[in-house]
Amino acid sequence: RAKELGRSDWQLYSPLMDSAAYKSYHLEKGLRNALLQDEFFIEYQPKVHAQSGEIDSLEALIRWNHPEWGRVSPGDFIPLAEETNLIIDLGDWVLEHVCKQLQRWKKQGEKVVPVSVNVPSKRLLKRDFVEYVEKTLAKYEIQPSFIEFEITESSIIQHEEHVKKVMEELKKIGVTFALDDFGTGFSSLSHLKDLEFNVLKIDKTFVQNIGDKGKHQAITKSLLYLAHALDMKVIAEGVETTEQLDFLLQHDCPFIQGFIFSKPVGKEKIEEYLRVRFL
């Protein structure tokens, strides 16, 4: 009781806490409104073959263009949305939008590549997820192998059995799964053993500190080795410099995602990329 009182006092009188609460209140209200007002859009970032620069697939990344605040970073609003059920509507909006875009590209005669979509655990764990995905793919006539879901490790812990079941059902129809941001947070090698991910994405913190030699290089090398040994496709995220790229090439990293090839870009730019095919 005393502790509770103490906490609320602190919340009431800390200007920092006030402003954080104020900010998140407005962010949440803004998010609800944004879905209604169509303020979200998607950018796509290519994942490329390290050796040739050929585009292998794309990652869909959500963007929010607020009429007054301008562009709000997903790093700011996704965590907030995840605390509420808004993340479910947001996630569905992204999948729907991506499927619609893939269908449009196919109708335009573009040579499409698979697209990965980040899926929060809250969505994945909802009872209707598998059915929803199947229905959405069917609605837009999308072959399941053109959709990949990216899941972070933190969303697996505590729900491993459930996640495993969902993955098995969707993998049966051809959807693939990537383990995102691998090596951060709650890394556990048992996830790799128990859940059959198609793809391992090495988190950008390792890649971006490769220049420091020592530990980050050793970890990156081990993760590459591990993925090869487990027969997983492996992608290094956040590659920005030629130094990082050279290191990854030397150590047989087959796929790269990062600013060195392209930032996330809009659909028009992607259409140009798809015609050229190589970055």
Nearest distance, CB of residue 43 and ligand C2E, angstroms: 7
Determine, following the binding rule CB under 5 A, whether residue 150 of this chain makes contact with Mg ion.
Answer: yes
Nearest distance, CB of residue 97 and Mg ion, angstroms: 16
State the DSSP string of 195-208: S--SEEEE-HHHHH
Nearer to ligand C2E, 92 or 169 (CB): 92
Q: Is 278 exposed, middle or buried (0-12, 13-18, 19+ CB in 10 A)?
A: exposed
Determine, following the binding rule CB under 5 A, whether residue 118 of this chain makes contact with Mg ion.
Answer: yes
What does the block give as tokens for 160?
């491993």
Nearest distance, CB of residue 63 and Mg ion, angstroms: 14
Nearer to ligand C2E, 30 or 91 (CB): 91
Contact footprint for ligand C2E (CB under 6 A):
45, 61-62, 73-75, 78, 91, 94, 118, 120, 150, 180-181, 204, 237-240, 257-259, 264
What does the block give as tokens for 275?
């015609």
SS (H, E, C) 217-229: HHHHHHHHHHHHH
Question: CA-CA distance, 166 to 74, in Å (whole number)?
Answer: 26
Nearest distance, CB of residue 194 and ligand C2E, angstroms: 22
Nearer to ligand C2E, 6 or 211 (CB): 211
Nearer to ligand C2E, 105 or 116 (CB): 116
E-strand spans in the chain? Answer: 40-49, 55-66, 70-72, 115-118, 147-152, 176-182, 199-202, 233-237, 255-257
**Residues in contact with Mg ion by the rule CB under 5 A:** 118, 150, 180-181, 237
